[in-house]
Structure 1
Amino acid sequence: MSELKKFFNQLTPLSDESWDKLSLLFTPKTLKKGEYFIKEGQTAKEIAFMENGIVRAFYRNNEAVEYNKHFFISPCFIGGYASLITKLPNQIYQQALTDCKLLVANYTAIKELYQSCHDLERAGRVLAEHFFVQKEKREIELVLLDSESRYEIFLKEFPHLEQQIPQYHIASYLGITPTQLSRIRKRMSRARHLST
């Protein structure tokens, strides 16, 4: 729970009273590698704070081709955010790429605390703003940048992730094939080698 408290206090400081009420809503849960936190078609009811682990968010098209949308690296929140807000069925899968330690809470129960805990409501708003900025940045990168630039950004934003997950997941996230990713990596390795 200390990681969760630290995370909230980095968003905006919470009073002891707000923290006491909020902490009661979270229950520990483990998600094994390969298991889903939420699938397409489910209506989201829970949000989870990931204390440890890696989760991927992805779409699956009619031909069962998967497109990685985002990687969640602890500490962070996961959950079908659009579904939580709209109460409509979720469209994005969230799957554990490693064993994960979670703290899970009912989203409606958290929102009910907003009435009496304005600092918590502010934290929720700041978190939503972070999600929005992240989403817009990612959309711009996919449209305006070439695959090599996107890969360089991936390496900066997710250091060490490349050693922890399969290459095809990274290629899918970048919107390229594993073969294209392999070529980019070789080209960058050669360029680094020549510059030393």
Structure 2
Amino acid sequence: MNELEIYLESLIHFTESEMKRFTSLFAEIRLKKSDYFAKEGEFSTRLAFVSNGVLRAFFRNDAGSEYNKTFFTPPSFVAAYSSITTKRRNLINIQCLTDCTLFVADFTQLTALYKDYPKFESLARILAEYKFAIKEKREIELVTLEATKRYEIFKIEHPNLENLINQYHIASYLGITPTQLSRIRAKK
């Protein structure tokens, strides 16, 4: 739980009692490689802090092809955000690419604290703004940059991730085929 507290404190200062109240809603769970944190079509209610491991958010088209949307590595929060905020079914899957340790809380219980703890609502806004900025940057890169440049950015933003996950996951994230990724890597 200490990792969660350190991460929260890097975003906003909490009193000891505020920190205890917030973190008391989280419980540690361990998921194995290939386990799902969220599945397409289900309703999500949980938010988790990634303490250890790597997860991916992905979607499948009607033909069954998978497309990686993002990776979650420590320290970060993970959730099927559109589902927990709209109360609609998940549009994406979130799957462990390695064994993972997560601290999980019920999203409704967290948001119920907003009224009595304005800092928690501020924290949610900070996290949402950060997620939006990352999403926007990634979308722009996908349509404006060549695959080689996207790969270079990936390596900077996700150091060592290549050593932890299969290359086809990276290729999917970059919007290229595994063969294209192999060619790019061979030139480096």
TM-score w.r.t. the length of structure 2 is 0.98
Distance 1:185 1:20 in 2: 46
Report the AA paired with residue 104 of structure 1. V
The answer for the alignment partner of 1:16 in structure 2 is 16
For the aligned residues, what is the CA RMSD?
0.8
Contact kept, 8 Å, 1:43 with 1:88, in 2: the verdict is yes
State the partner residue of 1:182.
Answer: 182
Matched position secondary structure for 2:159: coil
Matched residue, 2:71? 71
Alpha-carbon shift at residue 120 of structure 1 (Å): 1.4
Aligned to 2:28: 28
Find the aligned partners of 1:9 and 1:152 in 2 and give their Cα distance: 31
Deviates more, 1:10-19 or 1:125-134: 10-19
**Which is greater in Rg?**
1
Counterpart check, 1:130 vs 2:136: no
Establish whether residue 97 from structure 1 lines up as the match of residue 113 from structure 2. Answer: no
Contact 1:38 1:93 in 2 (8 A): yes
Question: Equivalents in 2 of 1:120, 1:64: separation in Å?
Answer: 39
Whole-angstrom distance in 2 between the partners of 1:23 and 1:143: 39
Tell me how far apart the structure 1 counterparts of residues 138 and 118 of structure 2 sit (CA, whole Å): 30
Where 1:123 maps in the other structure, the secondary structure is helix
Partners of 1:51 and 1:85 lie apart in 2 by 23
Q: Which residue of 2 aligns with 1:46?
A: 46
Q: Deviations over 1:126-152 (max 9, x none)?
A: 001110000000000001001001000
Kept after mapping to 2: 8 A contact 1:40/1:91: yes
Identity %: 49
| Secondary structure of 1:105 counterpart | strand
Q: Is the 8 A contact 1:15 1:119 kept in 2?
A: no
- Give the conservation status (yes or no) of the 8 Å contact 1:4–1:49: yes
1:121 & 1:9 partners in 2: Cα distance? 15
- In 2, Cα distance between the equivalents of 1:110 and 1:137? 28
Q: Which residue of 2 aligns with 1:191?
A: none
Q: Deviations over 1:32-85 (max 9, x none)?
A: 100000000111101011110000110100111000010111111111011111
Give the aligned partner of residue 117 of structure 1: 117
Question: What's the offset of the Cα at 1:17?
Answer: 2.1
Match of 2:62 in 1: 62
Structure 2 CA distance for aligned equivalents of residues 16 and 116 of structure 1: 15
CA distance in 1, matches of 2:20, 2:182: 49
Post-superposition offset of 1:154: 0.3
Where do 4+ consecutive residues of structure 1 move more than 3 Å? none
The amino acid that maps onto 2:3 is: E
